[in-house]
Amino acid sequence: MKLKELRLKHGKTQQEIAKDLNLTQNTYSNYEKEKTTPDIQTLIKLADYFHVTIDYLVEHEVPYLIDKSAWPESKKELLNMIAELDDFESEKIKGIIVGYTQAQKEKPKIIN
């Protein structure tokens, strides 16, 4: 699992995260060292806490997301641009995309 990497990236101690998630420091430490595995509810809490997916947290690769060879060039280009953004910029772009897709769903269909 990527718990230690995420903890260090966020500048947190094991004690801080354990307290924030209502765990003991020992329990959290065992998750980081992979001595024990969190249950699904704790995995959800951890993923939410670090703003990542459970797949990312447990290092599960989803093949259809990784193999982009069949994707059109425009989508590959867009993903590469998004990969360059920081978290704040990514959230702004996500908001734009969500707004756009919602507007497309609500747009009246013209029937000829």
Range of the domain at 95: 65-106
Give yes or no: residues 20 and 53 share one domain. Answer: yes
**Is 112 inside any structural domain?**
no
Give the predicted TM-score (pTM) of the model. Answer: 0.55
Number of H helices, E strands in the chain: 8, 0
Give yes or no: residues 69 and 56 share one domain. Answer: no
**Alpha-helix residue ranges (DSSP H) falling in 21-86:** 25-32, 40-50, 54-57, 63-66, 73-83
Per-residue model confidence as pLDDT tens digits over 63-100 = 555 666 777 888 888 888 888 888 889 889 989 988 88
Euclidean distance between the first and final Cα of the chain, in Å? 54
Per-residue model confidence as pLDDT tens digits over 89-99 = 988 998 998 88
**Is 90 inside any structural domain?**
yes
Counted domains in the chain: 2
Give yes or no: residues 43 and 89 share one domain. Answer: no
Give yes or no: residues 52 and 95 share one domain. Answer: no
